Structure 1
Amino acid sequence: MSILSIPIIILCLFIVISLFFIVKQQTAVIIERFGKFQSIRHSGLQIKIPLVDRIAGRLSLKIQQLDVIIETKTLDDVFVRLKVSVQYMVIKDKVYDAFYKLDYPHEQITSYVFDVVRAEVPKMKLDDVFVKKDDIALAVKAELNDAMLDYGFDIIKTLVTDIDPDPQVKQAMNRINASEREKIAAQFEGDAARILIVEKAKAEAESKRLQGQGIADQRREIARGLEESVEVLNKVGINSQEASALIVVTQHYDTLQAIGGETNTNLILLPNSPQAGSNMLNDMVASFTASNQIGEAMKNTNKKKEE
């Protein structure tokens, strides 16, 4: 093999290698011949003329995302930073327009996003910006679709992914929210305390009612017992007055006996002398007798007046 044949072989290898090229999936390759557009090639093994055709560029046909951060002012004079995410893709049938009509698609999209957001947000108050962020996104999408379609780009979706007010405004909003929550918590606590008071009052009223009913039943039974005791004493020749006095004295001694049976009591029943029961009985009989005499005298007086 001569020395001259080596450069020829190398040139042939270069030509063969330059003849073939591979285009990846979801990619479009623009081929130019002597600086003029020749064709668009898609995925697979492709052929071009070496030294005549060249790959001018590659465009991805996948969905891409561009995040744009805009600072603007709301209707209530609050500065706010918005992050708008634009999802777009190159239209397969308009690769030529996307490559030759627009040099910097990112900058073009960013300009339109700035223009729309700064036209829409100043019409809204800060609270409305949070509520109507989807309306802002739709306005951006509509404007971008009209503008970018001519350049071979399709706007898939626009999203307002972040709304960040001025730090001082954010702190004020947090204080307002905290105050509102504390107010609601205080109202709930007040309602709970009021319910507890009402329920406690109802319980006490029910307790008093049941206690009164119990006392009434107790007194009713005592009266029934006394009535039966008087009837028994009347049968043995003791009149009602003497029987009542006897029952009272008997209860007096029963009470003394009950107190004596308690070891840890400080209760003292007065009078408590040994002759107290006898004195009580005599006093009661005397009072009953005097009462009867007074009653008879009043009856006689009334009769004389009537005559």
Structure 2
Amino acid sequence: MGYVFLTFVILALLVVFMTVKVVPQQTAYVVERLGKFYAVLQPGITFIIPFFDRVAYKHSLKETALDIPEQICITRDNVQVRVDGVIFIQIVDPQKASYGIADYRFSVIQLSQTTMRSEMGKIELDKTFEERTTLNQAVVRSIDEAAIGWGVKVLRYEIKNITPPQSVLNAMEKQMQAEREKRAVILQSEGEKQSAINIAEGQKQKVVLESEGVRLRQINEAAGEAEAIKSIADATAESIRKVAAAINDEGGMNAVQLRVAEQLVDQFGNLARTNNTLILPANFGDMASIISTAMTVVKQQDKTK
């Protein structure tokens, strides 16, 4: 009886274990009943009928990264390059992923390689490094269209390496070196050109400033001379006015006569010192008469004014 009871307990536990299924989060179980698709079990505790139902497939609904092996591609200009990458996929329909294709992972990898070879054949080697984004998008579009029937969504594709042959790498290195030298020569010539322009511009500004300085100096000198002449004229006029005013004052005429006599004597003295021959007026002895004559001239000039 003990063995029979133990056997019954073991069978009961086995039936319970086969009946109760715990599906983890982000996981889908595909259940078949008598060999035919029955249902997709969602995360949580579910029950199935033992010996009639079985879990045929278990799929992870998480995003998965698949490594794309390195392959040789031929570019538009007939250069062989080695290309590898990585593709990110996610199962969106567990039923199609189970029955739509035998191995969706293998199929995605193969389709990625063939699509990459096709896309690389459309562009030249020099543009392969620039067109990475375009190549990635082309692979995603191509695989996504085919993977709809597989229950798989292609999220993105990334090229990891593009490796040209060593001979091509050497040629590219020489080309880049030549391009760098060319840019260096151009920059140097541009610098020399700009330097020459700056020097010429500086000389031009120097000449302009010097000519402007000369012009301003001449203007200032002319203005100074004019001001000096005006000042002298004003001073002369003022002195004449003061002399005239002094003559009109009391005793002014006597002072003028005395001044004229002094000037006359001084001038004759100068003539005596500088010349051997001295011409004297007929009435030189009559000094009063000479002074009177000079004063008459002064008075007539004063009346004329």
TM-score after normalising by structure 2: 0.60
Residue matched to 1:65: 65
Q: Using the alignment, how far apart are the partners of 1:195 and 1:2 within structure 2?
A: 108
Structure 1 residue 22: Cα displacement: 1.1
Q: In the comparison of the two structures, how many residue pairs are matched?
A: 221
Q: Map 1:64-143 onto structure 2 (within 5 A).
A: 64-68=64-68, 69-92=70-93, 95-143=94-142
Note closer, same or farther for the CA distance 1:206–1:26 as it changes in structure 2 (3 Å cut). closer
Matched, 1:145 2:144: yes
Structure 1 residue 208: Cα displacement: 11
Q: Deviations over 1:126-161 (max 9, x none)?
A: 123233333333332332222221222222233334
Q: Map 1:40-59 onto structure 2 (within 5 A).
A: 40-59=40-59
Note closer, same or farther for the CA distance 1:40–1:203 as it changes in structure 2 (3 Å cut). closer
Note closer, same or farther for the CA distance 1:209–1:128 as it changes in structure 2 (3 Å cut). closer
Q: Using the alignment, how far apart are the partners of 1:201 and 1:21 within structure 2?
A: 91
Structure 1 residue 54: Cα displacement: 2.0
Q: Deviations over 1:22-72 (max 9, x none)?
A: 111121101123433222101111112233322212011222222323321
Q: Which amino acid aligns with 1:145?
A: D
Q: Using the alignment, how far apart are the partners of 1:141 and 1:39 within structure 2?
A: 30
Q: Which amino acid aligns with 1:40?
A: V
Q: Using the alignment, how far apart are the partners of 2:207 and 2:200 within structure 1?
A: 10
Structure 1 residue 14: Cα displacement: 2.1
Structure 1 residue 200: Cα displacement: 6.0
Structure 1 residue 178: Cα displacement: 2.4
Q: Map 1:215-294 onto structure 2 (within 5 A).
A: none
Structure 1 residue 168: Cα displacement: 2.4
Q: Using the alignment, how far apart are the partners of 2:142 and 2:205 within structure 1?
A: 73
Note closer, same or farther for the CA distance 1:50–1:175 as it changes in structure 2 (3 Å cut). same
Note closer, same or farther for the CA distance 1:182–1:54 as it changes in structure 2 (3 Å cut). same
Q: Using the alignment, how far apart are the partners of 1:199 and 1:33 within structure 2?
A: 91
Q: Using the alignment, how far apart are the partners of 1:35 and 1:26 within structure 2?
A: 25
Residue matched to 2:39: 39
Q: Using the alignment, how far apart are the partners of 2:135 and 2:176 within structure 1?
A: 25
Structure 1 residue 96: Cα displacement: 1.6
SS of the aligned residue for 1:21 comes to strand
Residue segments in structure 1 that go unaligned for 5+ positions in a row:
212-216, 218-307
Q: CA RMSD in A?
A: 3.5
Q: Using the alignment, how far apart are the partners of 1:209 and 1:35 within structure 2?
A: 103
Structure label with greater radius of gyration: 2
Note closer, same or farther for the CA distance 1:205–1:152 as it changes in structure 2 (3 Å cut). closer
Residue matched to 1:6: 6
TM-score after normalising by structure 1: 0.59
Matched, 1:29 2:15: no
